[in-house]
Amino acid sequence: MRLSLISCIALLASVAAACSAPASYETFVPQVDRGEDGRYSFTLMLDDSSSVYSISFYTRIDSPESSFMDLHDLPFEIELVSPAGASYSETVYMDIAGWSDSGYFTKGYDFPYRLGFVPSEYGRWEMSVKVDGEESVKGFRGLGLRVDKEDSNRNLSSL
């Protein structure tokens, strides 16, 4: 039985799609696993020149509802090192009132850091984050990072 050229191409395309890298990945660092300097460390693989990326942070705070009344936005001191060794830093703030899910004794946070960007360099980036004042937040469980990869036709910004 002979396969037509179109059938072969369709089969190869299906196999190639099945072998592609995942469109997103995430890493969570529990508070007890922070570095000695109190920083959370992440590796970002931003190596696909045909894609744009979005990065979000997530965390969970387990504490009685009354404890959230006294909390303020948390500063995240972010340091990035590019594949070529260039360093970048900035501070962004997590909105304590902006939780994504909530229960009596817990609040989950999922907030965007960069959406739809093209990196200035492709490859392995290193990120470290210091959550300033984290020690005063009873029940802060750690910090997670999610990287989503999308088709480059949605290029919105640059890192």
Boundaries of domain holding 38: 22-158
Query: Which three-class secondary structure state does DSSP give residue 54?
Result: strand
Of residues 98 and 36, more confidently modeled = 36
- Confirm whether 11 is domain-assigned: no
Give every CB contact of residue 55 below 8 A, 6+ residues apart in sequence. Answer: 44, 112, 113, 114, 145, 146, 147, 148
Report the CATH number that the domain containing residue 99 is assigned in CATH. 2.60.120
- The candidate with the shortest Cα–Cα distance to 148, out of 18, 17, 23, 20, is 23
Q: How many domains does the chain have?
A: 1
- Confirm whether 15 is domain-assigned: no
- Confirm whether 5 is domain-assigned: no
Give the pTM. 0.77
Rounded distance between C-alpha atoms, residue 151 and residue 50, angstroms: 7
In DSSP terms, which residues pair with 143 in a beta bridge? Answer: 29
Span 68-120, pLDDT tens digits: 666 778 899 999 999 999 999 999 998 876 667 767 678 888 999 999 999 99
- Confirm whether 6 is domain-assigned: no
Give the per-residue pLDDT at 139: 86
DSSP 32: G
